[in-house]
């Protein structure tokens, strides 16, 4: 059935997604809050303009290589579940559970991650009005969390969960509108930077980033930042790898496409093009936003160390109030499209795992009216409500968890494609080569994320991320013991 139009669906899910919907889901997942917030929070200090650009382009190339394995496997197993289904068919029940469990965390952590940025958007746009800073508040890791911010974020999480429940076609339409507006905002800012005399190449120094902790400890200014800049072979390599290591997080979302395979109303031949276009657009947004943020500000290191929203400040410098509105609209579309897309991916994955006995039967129930996995979606909403409660400091921890989950999913997909090609006697030399490279790169990602390597700073997990990983593994172990007798039993 390779490349053919999907047959009628007997699973209960309805075929309502056209190619534009699916591109919007993938692109909306790839580009969330991080492309707008992380230039000041992670990318510029860790990697600078040059290091981030190189890392993002290399990351995109790796993702395209990995995407070829997805485009081969989706027509072979066109079911919700994607990587989980591939692994089950090629490696058996136990490894399928491991793959599926880590994919859940890769997708699901992105929803609360995006929701925590909602308060930051309003805070950055309302000046000194502090519209959401009302009601009770508390602090986590030095960040104040207010009831007003929590209520707005939770309301949006519930609303978009409801949109996913009442029909995938409606969700696909909303996602298409949001993704189109997002691309328009980023491209407009990019053009403004190209034609503005305020955006200068000299402003991008230090182009490889700097040691933010050391510079802040010494109360360094932009004029003094050169002595803390990443230099030499080790410094430049660290700068590139610090961002390259989280490429699985940055581009996670193109792989959400297989999760909705049972809902495609078009030929599987179009999957390759949709994935590649989503990855290329994502690379442009990450690189453009980061470069514009530095080029438009003479003192971006000062802004970074002060904890300011660097891209917002840069947009206002270039375009005045319109620049703030542009960023506000763009990041709002990114956040909302990320919530919508990852809700869909997470719920379809859990639906698929439940349908095959890997999660309790409750997760696999399909709404009789709307044809969507209602219970799985309700669970996603409940878990996502943790984001507004934990606050923005949890962003970095969620990034790490998503990155390791995505890396594991990529590994199993590429390995599964190798086994399937050998078994079916098809695929060709090119696909085999890309699958082997995908296995190698996925392994490299996992090593960079989990193992501290001497001489490379800012690359591996932080302490809190290791703790979250251990907790997730323990929870998975409980589910494994509870459900393993039902593995492979279709409800």
Model confidence pLDDT, tens digit, residues 395-432: 667 777 778 888 899 999 999 999 999 998 888 899 99
Give CA torsion, residues 439, 440, 441, 445, to 10 deg. 100
- The predicted structure's pLDDT at residue 1: 41
What tens digit of pLDDT does each residue of 440-462 get? 999 988 888 787 776 665 566 67
| Count, residues in the chain | 491
- The predicted structure's pLDDT at residue 12: 56
Closest by alpha carbon to 101, among 420, 302, 352?
352
Burial class (CB in 10 A: 0-12, 13-18, 19+), 386: middle
pTM higher than the cut 0.85: no
> In this predicted model, which residue has the larger pLDDT, 318 or 402?
318
Q: Give the mean pLDDT of the chain.
A: 85
What mean pLDDT comes out for the span 273-295? 93
- The predicted structure's pLDDT at residue 491: 47
- The predicted structure's pLDDT at residue 272: 84
CB atoms < 10 A from the CB of 143, how many?
15
Which DSSP symbol is given to 132? Answer: T
Q: Which long-range contacts (CB under 8 A, 24 or more apart) does 475-480 make?
A: 476/97, 476/98, 476/101, 479/101, 479/359, 480/97, 480/101
- The predicted structure's pLDDT at residue 141: 67
| Residue 8 in this model has a pLDDT that exceeds 80 | no
3-state secondary structure of 310: helix
What tens digit of pLDDT does each residue of 190-204 get? 999 999 989 999 999
Dist CA 117 CA 124 (whole Å): 10
Please provide residue 229's backbone torsions phi and psi, each rounded to the nearest 5 degrees.
-70, 150
- The string of DSSP letters for 379-448 reads HHHHHHTHHHHH-GGGHHHHHHHHHHHHHHHHHHHHHHHHHHHHHHT-SHHHHHHHHHHHHHHHHHHHHH
Closest by alpha carbon to 55, among 479, 359, 459, 491?
459
- The predicted structure's pLDDT at residue 4: 55
3-state secondary structure of 164: helix
Dist CA 230 CA 228 (whole Å): 7
- The predicted structure's pLDDT at residue 394: 62
> In this predicted model, which residue has the larger pLDDT, 370 or 61?
61
What tens digit of pLDDT does each residue of 156-182 get? 999 988 888 886 667 778 888 888 999
| Residue 30 in this model has a pLDDT that exceeds 80 | yes
- The predicted structure's pLDDT at residue 5: 52
Query: Which tokens is 22 given?
Result: 């699916």
> In this predicted model, which residue has the larger pLDDT, 468 or 377?
377
**Lowest-confidence segment of 126-130, 207-211, 387-391, 399-403 by average pLDDT:** 126-130
Cis peptide before 148 (omega within 30 of 0): no
**Which domains are assigned to the chain?**
19-486 (1.20.1740.10)
Which DSSP symbol is given to 484? Answer: G
- The predicted structure's pLDDT at residue 431: 93
Sign of CA dihedral 249, 350, 393, 148: positive
Give CA 360 to chain center in angstroms: 27
Give CA torsion, residues 314, 387, 397, 274, to 10 deg. -70
Task: Quote the percentage of the chain above a pLDDT of 70.
Answer: 91
């Amino acid at each position: 059935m390779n490349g053919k139009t999907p047959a009628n669906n007997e699973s209960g899910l309805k075929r309502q997604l056209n190619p534009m919907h699916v591109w919007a889901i993938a692109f909306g997942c790839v580009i969330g809050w991080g492309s707008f917030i992380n230039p000041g929070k992670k990318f510029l200090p860790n990697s600078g303009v040059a290091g981030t650009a190189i890392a993002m382009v290399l990351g995109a190339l790796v993702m395209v290589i990995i995407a070829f394995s997805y485009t081969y496997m989706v027509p072979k197993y066109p079911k919700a579940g994607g990587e989980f289904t591939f692994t089950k068919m090629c490696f058996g029940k136990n490894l399928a559970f491991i793959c599926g469990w880590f994919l859940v965390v890769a997708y699901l952590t992105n929803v609360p991650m995006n929701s925590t940025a909602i308060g930051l958007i309003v805070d950055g746009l309302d000046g000194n009005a502090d519209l959401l800073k009302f009601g009770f508040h508390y602090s986590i890791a030095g960040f104040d969390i207010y009831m007003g911010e929590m209520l707005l974020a939770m309301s949006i999480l519930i609303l978009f969960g409801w949109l996913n429940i009442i029909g995938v076609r409606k969700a696909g339409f909303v996602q298409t509108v949001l993704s189109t507006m997002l691309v328009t905002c980023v491209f407009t800012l990019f053009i403004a930077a190209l034609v503005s005399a305020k955006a200068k190449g000299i402003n991008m120094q230090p182009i490889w980033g700097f040691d933010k902790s050391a510079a802040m400890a010494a109360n360094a200014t932009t004029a003094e930042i050169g002595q803390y800049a990443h230099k030499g072979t080790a410094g430049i390599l660290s700068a590139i790898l610090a961002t390259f290591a989280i490429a699985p997080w940055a581009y996670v979302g193109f792989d959400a496409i297989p999760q909705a395979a049972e809902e495609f109303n078009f030929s599987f031949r179009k999957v390759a093009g949709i994935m590649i276009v989503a990855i290329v657009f994502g690379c442009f947004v990450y690189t453009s936003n980061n470069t514009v943020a530095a080029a438009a500000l003479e003192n971006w290191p000062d802004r970074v160390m002060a904890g300011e929203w660097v891209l917002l400040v840069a947009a206002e410098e270039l375009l005045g109030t319109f620049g703030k509105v542009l960023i506000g609209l763009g990041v709002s579309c990114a956040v909302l499209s990320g919530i919508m897309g990852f809700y869909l991916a997470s719920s379809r994955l859990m639906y698929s795992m439940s349908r095959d006995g890997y999660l309790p039967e409750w997760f696999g129930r399909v709404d009789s009216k709307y044809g969507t996995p209602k219970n799985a979606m309700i669970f996603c909403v409940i878990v996502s409500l943790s984001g507004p409660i934990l606050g923005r400091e949890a962003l970095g921890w969620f990034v790490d968890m998503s990155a390791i989950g995505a890396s594991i999913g990529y590994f199993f997909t590429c390995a599964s494609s190798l086994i399937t090609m050998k078994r079916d006697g098809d695929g060709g030399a090119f696909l085999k080569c890309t699958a082997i490279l995908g296995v190698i790169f996925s392994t490299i990602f996992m090593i960079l994320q989990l193992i501290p390597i001497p001489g490379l700073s800012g690359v591996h997990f932080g302490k809190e991320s290791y703790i979250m990983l251990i907790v997730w593994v323990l929870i998975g172990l409980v589910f494994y013991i509870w459900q393993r007798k039902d593995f492979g039993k279709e409800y």
